[in-house]
Chain A
Amino acid sequence: MGIVSPGFAGRRREGTNLPPGQYLTHDFPVLSAGPTPHIRTEHWEFTVTTETGEVRKWDWAALLALPAEEITKDIHCVTRWSKLETSWKGVSLDTVLADVETGADFALAHSYGGYTTNLPLDDLLDGQAWIAYEYDGEPLDPEHGGPARLLVPHLYFWKSAKWVRGLVLSDTEDLGFWETAGYHEYGDPWREQRYAGD
């Protein structure tokens, strides 16, 4: 199906390769479902729970002690903005999960404030995902997910859980907050998987 919108010319932007339906922004918009949690780093903790119930924990000092990476990636929000070449510092989830024994297929990320989002575990490995704690050379602002957020830039940005506090690994896929509210369970921006069934 398709119609032409009478009188609409549009504003094409040449030279940028964005996923379908996205537009470029130079701002850094915020999308959150509730008040911004303000978590002090001395109270921060990150927990990985495996499908067998084994629990691993890192406090802030333990996170900072892990080898960090500088990451420059394009990010794509389901609300249609994309931001190119954003700069982050954080710890690869390959590093975090290196000593975790698991055969799980899925992860449910949990955040301070109650937010959750689901991802296949494979999408968190092989240099695709980080726990990020700096943006543009500065500590990550609370409104952008500080002190630390998940960074999974190959998926729509709601998968990059702000204020992340842990992962629960599982053999079955439990849907997260937005996924339960009608958004796509996987969220690949290049396949424009915005809503359930896309």
Chain B
Amino acid sequence: MERTAIRRRLTWQVATVVDVRRETSTARTLVLQVPEWPGHVAGQHLDVRLTAPDGYRASRSYSIASAWTGDTIELTVEQVPDGEVSPYLVEVLNVGDPLEIRGPVGGWFVWKPEQPGPVQLIGGGSGVVPLMAMLRAHSAAASTAPVRLLYSVRRPASVIYADELKKLAMADNVGVRLRYTREAPAPEEQVGRVDAELLDHVAFEPSVSPTTYVCGPTPFVEAVADLLVAAGHDPATVRTERFGPTGGPR
């Protein structure tokens, strides 16, 4: 595990929402102008802080969806049922509004263009967001590294970044594969979870030494990471980011 610390103090700053894009019925992208953004690495996240008129505050962390190109940054937020911060970001915040943020944070679940070897991205639901930052960084850097995204999603209407993924997949060294868990766009397409057979077909093999990034709800990440290790991947090459509770009552 590498040591790349820049132990710099993170301070809150006020960003401005300069654009919003509806991605799905429950997800929205916010485009932020940040006066003093130090830049970020694909896969990092930032903290958002909301303040009510009486001073009450609530903060959450969100993955950055964009690659850093020296201008704006983007967050894609999935609305959490019964959430406190995400409904505000998805439904209430408007273009022109201020938003307090601090970041970037995280030095492990990141991809850098100078990193050697193929890149395997596996996302479940809104877990695709930091992986999209990596695909965008890969494209922006014109990286020659082979990269594949396997994106597990409930149904066609739930796909975030559908058009952009189609465009990115036209590059020779970029592969995008969607796996629908509830409802597929065509009757002949298989519906189901990511399993050993699918990984065997679409993921880079351990022999080509990929770095694999898995992000999604905890049960998804647990299942996929276990399958990768069972398929012979060195656990040290599998980087994970989990969100949400563990499955089932306990």
Interface residues of A (CB under 8 A from B): 1-12, 21, 23, 25, 27-37, 79-80, 113-114, 116, 136, 143-144, 175, 177-178, 180-182, 195-198
State the majority secondary structure of interface residues on A.
Answer: loop
- B44-65 contacts to A, CB under 8 A, are 50-53, 55-61
Q: Are A30 and B88 in contact (CB under 8 A)?
A: no
Tell me, rounded to whole Å, the shortest Cβ–Cβ distance linking B17 to chain A: 10
Q: Are B50 and A114 in contact (CB under 8 A)?
A: no
Please indicate the chain A residues that have their CB under 8 angstroms from the CB of B14 in the complex: 1, 3
Contact with A36, one of B7, B55, B59, B225 (Cβ below 8 angstroms):
B225
Q: Are A30 and B51 in contact (CB under 8 A)?
A: no
Tell me, rounded to whole Å, the shortest Cβ–Cβ distance linking A15 to chain B: 15
Q: Are A35 and B228 in contact (CB under 8 A)?
A: yes
Contact with A5, one of B3, B88, B108, B222 (Cβ below 8 angstroms):
B88
How many A-B residue pairs have C-beta atoms within 8 angstroms? Tell me: 137
Q: Are A181 and B5 in contact (CB under 8 A)?
A: yes
Expressed in whole angstroms, the Cα–Cα distance for A1 and B12 within the complex equals: 8
Q: Are B218 and A34 in contact (CB under 8 A)?
A: no
Q: Are A7 and B92 in contact (CB under 8 A)?
A: yes
Any chain A CB within 8 A of the CB of B111?
Answer: no
Known A1-B12, A34-B239; contact A182-B56, beta-carbon cutoff 8 A? no
Tell me, rounded to whole Å, the shortest Cβ–Cβ distance linking B118 to chain A: 18
Tell me, rounded to whole Å, the shortest Cβ–Cβ distance linking A183 to chain B: 8
Please indicate the chain A residues that have their CB under 8 angstroms from the CB of B12 in the complex: 1
Q: Are B88 and A8 in contact (CB under 8 A)?
A: yes
Any chain A CB within 8 A of the CB of B1?
Answer: yes
Known A28-B250, A35-B228; contact A114-B245, beta-carbon cutoff 8 A? no
Tell me, rounded to whole Å, the shortest Cβ–Cβ distance linking B75 to chain A: 15
Any chain A CB within 8 A of the CB of B145?
Answer: no
Expressed in whole angstroms, the Cα–Cα distance for A56 and B87 within the complex equals: 52
Contact with A11, one of B3, B7, B84 (Cβ below 8 angstroms):
B84
Tell me, rounded to whole Å, the shortest Cβ–Cβ distance linking A30 to chain B: 5
Any chain A CB within 8 A of the CB of B10?
Answer: yes
14 interchain pairs (CB within 8 A)?
A: A3-B14, A5-B97, A5-B99, A6-B93, A10-B57, A25-B245, A28-B245, A30-B222, A35-B225, A35-B226, A35-B238, A36-B225, A143-B246, A196-B7
Q: Are B222 and A36 in contact (CB under 8 A)?
A: yes
Q: Are B84 and A6 in contact (CB under 8 A)?
A: no
Expressed in whole angstroms, the Cα–Cα distance for A25 and B82 within the complex equals: 12
The 9 closest A-B pairs by CB, nearest first: A197-B9, A27-B245, A181-B107, A35-B225, A196-B7, A5-B50, A10-B52, A7-B92, A8-B50
Q: Are A10 and B58 in contact (CB under 8 A)?
A: yes
Tell me, rounded to whole Å, the shortest Cβ–Cβ distance linking A38 to chain B: 8
Tell me, rounded to whole Å, the shortest Cβ–Cβ distance linking A162 to chain B: 12
Any chain A CB within 8 A of the CB of B244?
Answer: yes
Any chain A CB within 8 A of the CB of B98?
Answer: yes
Please indicate the chain A residues that have their CB under 8 angstroms from the CB of B156 in the complex: none
Expressed in whole angstroms, the Cα–Cα distance for A11 and B85 within the complex equals: 9
Known A181-B108, A182-B105; contact A35-B235, beta-carbon cutoff 8 A? yes
Tell me, rounded to whole Å, the shortest Cβ–Cβ distance linking A94 to chain B: 30
Please indicate the chain A residues that have their CB under 8 angstroms from the CB of B4 in the complex: 180-181
Residue of A nearest to B83 (CB): A11
Q: Are B52 and A4 in contact (CB under 8 A)?
A: yes
Q: Are B246 and A8 in contact (CB under 8 A)?
A: no
Residue of B nearest to A192 (CB): B59
